[in-house]
Amino acid sequence: MTDQWEKSLFGSKILGKVYVNWLRKKQEHFNLFSEKKWKSRFEKSGFTISKVEGYVSPKNALYLDLLHYFSLPSLISYKLFRKWS
């Protein structure tokens, strides 16, 4: 994950910072550094970078966030019956 992660979230397009701040509390991302900062940290630790590959594209991050909403029925069921179905 990088510092660009939150810009790709579907919910942020609709609800803006309210959504981003809410999601930050749910997801624990300790180091949302830029690609440049990640490279610098690894190089300072003695690593040689041979390839940089992203975790998830901005387009796929949007879809990933959008698909969370399809899990709402399971969440409601869990809240009612205290077990995952």
Q: Which residue has the tokens 């390839």?
A: 51
C-alpha 12/C-alpha 72 separation (Å) is: 18
pLDDT of residue 58: 83
C-alpha 22/C-alpha 18 separation (Å) is: 6
pLDDT in tens, the chain (85 residues): 667 777 778 888 888 888 888 877 877 777 778 889 999 999 999 999 999 887 788 888 888 888 888 888 888 998 899 988 7
Helix, strand or coil, per DSSP, at residue 4: coil
pTM score: 0.51
